[in-house]
Amino acid sequence: MEIVFPVEFIVHGTPVSHQAKRPESREQWKEQVRSSSRVALPNPHFVSDQRVAVTLFYFPPEPMQGDVDNIVKLVLDACCAHIYLDDSQVERVVVQKFEPDRLFSFGNPSATFVQAIEGAKPALYVRISSDPHEDLQ
C-alpha cells in the first residue's frame, strides 16, 4: 500500500546521537524509531520515492544535555528504506527542542503532536511530509 503523507509518530525515550560510542546503542535507537513509525504506516507499505520534509521536535524531561543537531542523522537513517527510499529525498529538516517550562502555544496541533506535548517525557515527535515547502508559504 502507498504511504499517505504526512506521517506522524512519537518515539519514546532519549534520542541517541550519531556520535554514540556503542554501535549497539545506535542500532537500537534506529530500530526504536522504525518500530514507533509502524503505527502511522499501512501494513504492508511501499517505500515512497517522493521528496520529503522531516520535522523533529524533542521533548526532554529536563534541560537537554548535548546538541540538538546530533539527533537528526540516526532518525533519518532509520526512515531510509523504510518510509522513503534514500536520504537524498529529504529536502528539508526542522529540528527543535522544547525543554520543560519553555513551551509555547501552537496554532492547530495534530492529535499526535498534542500527545507528544502532554505525554510522558522524553519523547521525540516525528513528522514526515511529502511537501517540502508546506510551512514556507
Ramachandran angles phi, psi of 124, nearest 5°: -120, 115
- In this prediction, residue 105 carries a pLDDT of 78
- In this prediction, residue 134 carries a pLDDT of 82
Could you say which residues of the chain have pLDDT below 70? 103, 136-137
pLDDT digits (tens, 9 = 90+) for 25-43: 999 999 999 999 999 999 9
pLDDT digits (tens, 9 = 90+) for 121-132: 999 999 999 999
Domains (range + CATH), the chain? 7-129 (3.30.1330.70)
The letter for the amino acid at 133 is H
Is the distance from CB of 96 to CB of 107 less than 8 angstroms?
no
- In this prediction, residue 136 carries a pLDDT of 61
Is the distance from CB of 69 to CB of 83 less than 8 angstroms?
no
- In this prediction, residue 18 carries a pLDDT of 87
